[in-house]
């Protein structure tokens, strides 16, 4: 009995970690794929259909199953509405193609969508926020994530596939794309090795929950195992789970960790920006859905920061060697 998983967005921060987790996980197999051609709709649909067909064939034996993990996305908080709408359109057409290809095996699979806790709970009240909290986005990005969750839920309901939306806390770790201007830990780590400081536009008492990317990948796979088990017992299930460390950390505390790990002052610059209005002050998180899955040893924040710094340093050294 094997679960073959297709990670869409497998070259990104979360996608890479998921690939490694799946390859090392007993009873799981990673579907080998090339990056999807996102810039051309027809080419995208052709590639999606081909990969979905391969996923179906790989999971066609008795007792086997499939999982689709949607970890793709170029959108960030500063993305324009046109960019967000275009990405939603790609999600819809890709899922339509997947549904057609996997229709004969729809009762064998589950789908996961990587959503954003910070995006959907930006305007919510009374932290820590849980799955019982009413999501109130304060940014177009947060609204985009809620719309994407709805699209995935509609796909899953239409095709009788169990689904899970994972509302992820601030994800960090080795492999983050530094050109996206996203991920404060990676941006500060990069600044430690640069003459250009990282800019911080929120107050130092701003509270966030940071989860190490490899911890998050393991939690996603455990959640999909649970989702499949629930489906076997109770039928098709649609669920939402917060994926977080459960630890509240202020920006000031984060900078203190950088001071300890790098043995020097964090290379940052405090400033102001209109975009700061799209950032909530307190984003403490806790999961009350399948909480037993959260009882695990997590990577301590200082250790994760150190691993991120080493990864960025390694990348800088490889770039210099290639010149």
- Taking a C-beta distance cutoff of 8 angstroms, is the pair 264, 312 a contact? no
For residue 18, what are the CA distances in angstroms to 65, 70, 93, 176, 216? 17, 11, 24, 13, 9
Architecture of the structural domain at 3-322: 3-Layer(aba) Sandwich (3.40)
| Structure confidence at residue 276 (pLDDT) | 66
| Structure confidence at residue 260 (pLDDT) | 95
Q: Read off the pLDDT of residues 84-137 as tens digits, 9 standing for 90 and up.
A: 999 999 999 999 999 999 988 778 899 999 999 999 999 999 999 999 999 999
Kind of pairing between the strands at 207-208 and 249-250: antiparallel
List the one residue out of 226, 237, 239 whose CA is nearest residue 149: 239
Which letter, b or e, does each residue of 12-22 get, where b requires 16 or more Cβ atoms within 10 Å of its Cβ? bbbbbbbbebb
Residue with tokens 């050294």: 317
Does residue 257 have a pLDDT over 90?
yes
Q: Read off the pLDDT of residues 37-75 as tens digits, 9 standing for 90 and up.
A: 999 999 999 999 999 999 999 998 888 999 999 999 989
> Which ranges constitute the DSSP H helices of 10-80?
13-24, 41-58
| Structure confidence at residue 270 (pLDDT) | 87
- Three-point CA angle 215, 219, 223, nearest 5°: 175
Residue with tokens 């949607």: 70
- CB neighbours (10 Å) of residue 128? 19
Whole-angstrom distance, CA of residue 313 vs CA of residue 319: 10
For the chain, the distance separating the N- and C-terminal CA atoms, rounded to the nearest angstrom, is: 48
- CB neighbours (10 Å) of residue 90? 18
List, in sequence order, every residue forming a beta bridge with 111; answer none if it has no partner: 68, 163
Q: Read off the pLDDT of residues 145-183 as tens digits, 9 standing for 90 and up.
A: 999 999 999 999 999 999 999 999 999 999 887 776 568
Least trusted range by pLDDT, from 15-24, 185-194, 263-272: 263-272
Percent of the chain with pLDDT over 90: 80
* Mean pLDDT value across residues 190-204: 90
| Structure confidence at residue 273 (pLDDT) | 67
User: Which has more pLDDT, 155 or 76?
Assistant: 155
* Mean pLDDT value across residues 259-278: 81
| Structure confidence at residue 117 (pLDDT) | 97
| Structure confidence at residue 279 (pLDDT) | 83
List the one residue out of 202, 207, 214, 210 whose CA is nearest residue 183: 210
Q: Read off the pLDDT of residues 273-288 as tens digits, 9 standing for 90 and up.
A: 666 667 889 999 999 9
Kind of pairing between the strands at 109-116 and 170-172: unpaired
SS3 111: strand
| Structure confidence at residue 301 (pLDDT) | 97
| Structure confidence at residue 166 (pLDDT) | 98
* Mean pLDDT value across residues 198-223: 96
Please, how many CA atoms are within 13 Å of residue 238, restricted to the half-sphere of its CB? Answer: 13
pTM for this structure? 0.95
- Three-point CA angle 251, 221, 190, nearest 5°: 30
Percent of the chain with pLDDT over 70: 96
- Taking a C-beta distance cutoff of 8 angstroms, is the pair 244, 171 a contact? no
Mean pLDDT of the chain, nearest integer: 93
């Amino acid at each position: 009995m094997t679960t073959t998983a297709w990670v869409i967005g497998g070259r990104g921060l979360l996608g890479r970690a998921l690939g490694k987790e799946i390859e090392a996980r007993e009873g799981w197999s990673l579907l080998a794929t090339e990056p999807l051609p996102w810039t051309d709709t027809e080419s995208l649909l052709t590639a999606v259909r081909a990969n979905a067909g391969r996923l179906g064939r790989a999971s066609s034996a008795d007792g086997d199953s499939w999982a689709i993990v949607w970890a793709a996305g170029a959108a960030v908080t500063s993305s324009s509405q046109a960019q967000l709408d275009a990405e939603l359109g790609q999600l819809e057409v890709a899922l339509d193609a997947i549904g057609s290809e996997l229709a004969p095996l729809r009762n064998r699979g589950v789908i996961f969508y990587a959503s954003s806790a910070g995006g959907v709970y930006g305007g919510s009240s009374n932290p820590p926020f849980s799955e019982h909290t009413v999501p109130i986005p304060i940014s177009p990005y947060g609204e985009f994530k809620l719309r994407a969750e709805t699209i995935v839920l509609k796909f899953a309901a239409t095709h009788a596939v169990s689904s899970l939306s994972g509302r992820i806390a601030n994800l960090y770790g080795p492999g983050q794309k530094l050109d996206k201007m996203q991920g404060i830990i990676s941006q500060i780590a990069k600044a430690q090795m640069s003459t250009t400081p990282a800019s911080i536009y929120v107050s130092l008492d701003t509270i966030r929950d940071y989860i190490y990317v490899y911890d998050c990948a393991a939690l996603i796979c455990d959640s999909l195992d649970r989702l499949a088990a629930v489906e076997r017992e109770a039928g098709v299930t649609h669920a939402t789970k917060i994926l977080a460390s459960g630890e509240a950390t202020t920006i000031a505390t984060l900078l203190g960790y950088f001071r300890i790990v790098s043995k020097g002052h964090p290379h940052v610059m405090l400033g102001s920006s209109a975009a700061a209005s799209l950032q909530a002050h307190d984003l403490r998180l806790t999961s009350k859905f399948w909480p037993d899955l959260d009882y695990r040893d997590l990577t301590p924040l200082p250790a994760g920061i150190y691993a991120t710094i080493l990864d960025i340093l390694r990348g800088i050294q490889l770039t210099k060697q290639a010149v």
